[in-house]
Amino acid sequence: DIQMTQSPSTLSASVGDRVTITCRASQSISTWLAWYQQKSGKAPKLLIYKASTLQSGVPSRFSGSGSGTEFTLTISSLQPDDSAIYYCQKYDLYPVIFGLGTRLEI
Amino acid sequence: QVQLVESGGSVVQPGRSLRLSCAASGLTFSNTILHWVRQAPGKGLEWVAGISTDGKNEHYPDSVKGRLTISRDNAKNTLYLQMSGLTPDDTAMYYCARGSYSSGRCDVFDIWGQGTMVTVSS
């Protein structure tokens, strides 16, 4: 199976900072990559799909890029509400695989 | 609005079976691809099953194949996950989720339930 590697595993930043989280696939997945945000005690929330398409209702400070094996999630200006764990997910083929997550501390 | 509500989670002994349910509302259930995703305490997300709209196609990772069975009742707008031979490694929050924005073979999960907790312990 394809492996999904996220980095960093933990990230500490301040309000207003620009932050980038990276997700690498062990094989090419084209642009079949999604990003989720999970806050403590809550279900995950879809942020971005097809590597760069923003899900409806998600603030425009979130953006995604990449193709093939390397992808990034960028938050342009951190807000206190962005404190969460962020997961990438590949969906080119079954099995669906998630990255291990990046904990973002504000 | 679209809502997915899981139920059936409990504390069960190793080796036992359990069936989870997910009741859907606010969507056309029979046109909706559905999945189960679990999360062990303090751990990441693990996809464990997916099912096509008509229930004829099921997908599982190798880690659960043969022990977990996904099914659906389109007349009752309900998704199920039958779990057998439970071990402590199955202890997790189990979420049902709607599949969307398909790649043609696989989906992202755009709507999630609140989850139901399964604890496997003697």
Q: Closest approach of chain B CAs to the CA of A78, in angstroms?
A: 23
- pLDDT on residue B61: 96
Check whether B112 has a pLDDT greater than 90.
yes
Q: Closest approach of chain B CAs to the CA of A91, in angstroms?
A: 5
What confidence tens digit (pLDDT) does each residue in A12-55 have? 999 999 999 999 999 999 999 999 999 999 999 999 999 999 99
Contact A25, A66 (CB under 8 A): no
Give me the mean pLDDT over the A90-99 stretch. 96
Distance CA(B96)–CA(B99), nearest Å, equals 10
The answer to whether B112 contacts A45, with C-beta atoms less than 8 Å apart, is yes
- pLDDT on residue B102: 87
CA nearest neighbour of B16 among B90, B116, B95: B90
Q: Closest approach of chain A CAs to the CA of B119, in angstroms?
A: 17
Give me the mean pLDDT over the A59-68 stretch. 98
Chain B neighbors of A87, CB-CB under 8 A: 44-45
Which phi and psi angles does B65 have, rounded to 5°? -60, 130
- pLDDT on residue B104: 85
Nearest CB neighbour to A44, from listed B45, B60, B62: B45
Q: How many CB pairs under 8 A join A and B?
A: 72
Preceding amide of B14 cis, omega within 30: no
Q: What is the DSSP string of A33-96?
A: EEEEEE-TTS--EEEEETTTEEPTT--TTEEEEEETTEEEEEESS--GGG-EEEEEEE-SSSSP
Distance CA(B88)–CA(B12), nearest Å, equals 9
The neighbour count for residue B104, using CB atoms within 10 Å, is 9
Check whether B4 has a pLDDT greater than 90.
yes
CA distances from A13 to A16, A76, A104 (A): 9, 12, 8
Nearest CB neighbour to A49, from listed B46, B101, B115: B101
Give residues with Cβ within 8 angstroms of A22, minimum separation 6: A6, A7, A70, A71, A72
- pLDDT on residue B109: 98
Q: Closest approach of chain B CAs to the CA of A1, in angstroms?
A: 10
What confidence tens digit (pLDDT) does each residue in B6-57 have? 999 999 999 999 999 999 999 999 999 999 999 999 999 999 999 999 999 9
- pLDDT on residue A1: 84
Distance CA(A90)–CA(B34), nearest Å, equals 17
The answer to whether A92 contacts B103, with C-beta atoms less than 8 Å apart, is yes
The answer to whether A46 contacts B109, with C-beta atoms less than 8 Å apart, is yes
